[in-house]
Amino acid sequence: MIFSRTTDLDHVYRILTCPSIYLLMGDDFLPAVEDYRVPDNPDIVYLVAGGSALVGLFALFPENRICWQLHAAILPWATKEEKRDAARSLVPWLAANTGCKRLTASVPATNRPAIYFGTHGIGMHYVGRQEKAFLRYGRLQDLVILGRSVNGALT
């Protein structure tokens, strides 16, 4: 899998606003697509994943120099093998190319594909739960907190 960091926010916008991604990306307060603005901060790492074809995007938001929060946006036409390759290649790439030492994600408990991708694909572990912390379709949902070490020293 080839990763390339991008600062092209128009490209990031096109990936994130793919209907099958955008509808799962946020809560009940997510703006209409035409009003959405990609966060523009030099600390955010937008990684485009691909090989012979575009697979998706990983957005990494440093919470501090060590711990980075992950958001994955995998395109619906990516094959199972491409998804698996992107997931399994991410942590080694981060270890070799960034200062990230801990990867975290907060995933709505009802988004089972994202939880599966994080645990089985990326190798993240369940580390906790934020109860009723996410409003989706008018119902409060739990957020499942996933985490893993990037350098292999901690899980």
Supply the pLDDT for residue 140: 97
* Predicted structure pTM score: 0.93
Pair type for strands 54-62 and 67-74: antiparallel
* Tally of structural domains, the chain: 1
For residue 139, the enclosing domain spans 2-149
Number of CB atoms found within 10 A of residue 100's CB: 21
Is residue 34 in a domain?
Answer: yes
pLDDT at 81 over 90: yes
Is residue 104 in a domain?
Answer: yes
Is residue 44 in a domain?
Answer: yes
Supply the pLDDT for residue 154: 47
Specify whether the backbone of 86 is left (phi greater than 0), alpha (psi in -120 to 50) or beta: alpha
What is the percentage of the chain residues whose pLDDT exceeds 90? 92
Amino acid, res. 141? Q
Give the pLDDT mean for 98-107. Answer: 96
Is residue 7 in a domain?
Answer: yes
State the CATH number of the domain containing residue 112: 3.40.630.30
Q: Read off the pLDDT of residues 20-40 as tens digits, 9 standing for 90 and up.
A: 999 888 999 999 999 999 999
